[in-house]
Amino acid sequence: MSRHLGVDRLDETRLTAPTAHRPMKGATRMSTSRYAALIAALVLAVFAALQAGAEPAGAASSPQMHFDKYMTVQSVCFTVTNPDLGQSTLYGQRFTDGTVSPSTPAIVLVHGIASSTLNWDFSPTWSVARALAAKGYVVYSYDRLGYAKSSYYDHPGGGFTLTTSAHRDELHNVVTEVKSGAYTTTGSDCSGPQQPSTIHNNRVVIIGHSAGGWIVAGYPGKYHDVAAMIQTDISGSVSPPNAPLGSSTGGGFTTSPDHPDYFQFFQTSQNCRDFNTYTPGIVPYVVDIACAPPFLLSPWGEIADLGEMYAENDVYISQIGPSIPVLLTSGDHDSTAPPSVAKADYDYYKAHCGCDVTQWIVPDTAHLFMVHKSLPSWIDYVTNWLTSRGIPPVKSK
């Protein structure tokens, strides 16, 4: 069976209702053939309506990804050490496509601010996580502590302690559990019954987007336990003036009245679109999902410590070494990491990491790369890059 990741436009089918006819004088029943045709037309009409209802608005006229019946999404729970040195539970998702084994490489996806697992799986027809799983990886995403289903509100003031460094240590817990299989599986969230995982993966790749890129930037130099690191749409090293956030449009920092240790980054859908998208390159129905309110709160800790974060990242970037390859990607229309900033970051890595580092500027793409039509090309590029670095997908169907 082909595992090609298809992107196309759905064919539009127009159904015309049967024309009403005046019964002939003396006719008491419809002919068998006409009756069968009417029933068939009605069945097709109902089927088409059900299909349309199952798709997001605008999906039929937009590019789509298609995945087969073997694609499985499983809710999972990770246990991490929080900044208070207690235990917290992170909600996550695991994506597989067919049979997997310990030799199947895993990819752990790390989201940015005002984000969650949703960013990696906006729709069954447009999804970073499903697309990478379809290639032959086991893919994990998780709500970072303080976000979405990984709430930290029960720790008053805890949002100030959720720094980039703290999130990096929590990522280490996640990577360790993915390798050992020590996490659990569950239903819709981690408050319900949980079962031990039956899957573990010997090699792990980490991918961080936006503020998640800050987290992964310093990770391999500190822990040295991943096979590769991919940083997207952010500068992980020392930032030039007015970057990474000062040069962006659309975002903002409004303290939450209910949780003063958290802030609201987007106030309106238009804020979200201005910050994240390049209109000529978007998939409209996916942007509608991504920029639909209400917007998630973000902990102040990872923004308040920017200076400390960059200084720490610089130390760890210099300790990556030759065994862990690094890929930096960003959009050519990203106002957070525009090409000039991305180049400076790439040059910094080349000069300091002692690692195999590659950069790709993604065409017709802004900050939220996963809502743009370039996503399938990004998936192919990442897969080819990993394969060339000795981390190929493992296909099992």
pLDDT at 251: 75
3-state SS string for 13-27: CCCCCCCCCCCCCCC
CATH number (3.30.56.10, 3.50.50.60, 3.40.50.1820, 3.40.50.720) of 67-388 reads 3.40.50.1820
The DSSP element (H or E) to which 32 belongs, if any, is helix 32-54
| CA 199 vs CA 59, 177, 181: distances in Å | 34, 10, 6
Measured distance CA(328)–CA(349) in Å, rounded: 10
pLDDT tens readout for residues 44-78: 343 333 344 455 666 667 899 999 999 999 999 99
pLDDT at 305: 80
pLDDT at 57: 61
Angle, to 10 degrees, between the axis of helix 164-180 and the axis of helix 306-317?
Answer: 50
- Check whether 249 has a pLDDT greater than 70: no
- Check whether 292 has a pLDDT greater than 80: yes
- Check whether 195 has a pLDDT greater than 70: yes
Residue type, 147: Y
pLDDT at 60: 63
pLDDT at 7: 39
Confidence of residue 12 (pLDDT cuts 50, 70, 90): very low
Contact 184, 197 (CB under 8 A): yes
Q: How is the chain split into domains, by residue range?
A: 67-388
Strand partners, 126: 123
pLDDT tens readout for residues 115-147: 999 999 999 999 999 999 999 999 999 999 999
Q: Name the average pLDDT for the chain.
A: 87
In the chain, the percentage of residues whose pLDDT exceeds 90 is: 78
Helices (H) and strands (E) in the chain, counts: 11, 15
- Check whether 20 has a pLDDT greater than 50: no
**C-alpha neighbours within 13 Å on the C-beta side of residue 358:** 15
For 378, the token pair is 């990004």
Angle, to 10 degrees, between the axis of helix 339-352 and the axis of helix 306-317?
Answer: 40
Count the helix, strand and coil residues of the chain and give each as a percent rounded to the nearest 5: 35, 20, 45
The C-alpha angle with vertex 307 and arms to 144 and 86, in degrees rounded to 5, equals 35
pLDDT at 286: 98
Confidence of residue 4 (pLDDT cuts 50, 70, 90): very low
pLDDT tens readout for residues 201-228: 999 999 999 999 999 999 999 999 999 9
* Least confident interval from 47-51, 250-254, 358-362: 47-51
pLDDT tens readout for residues 306-339: 889 999 999 999 999 999 999 999 999 999 999 9
pLDDT at 47: 35
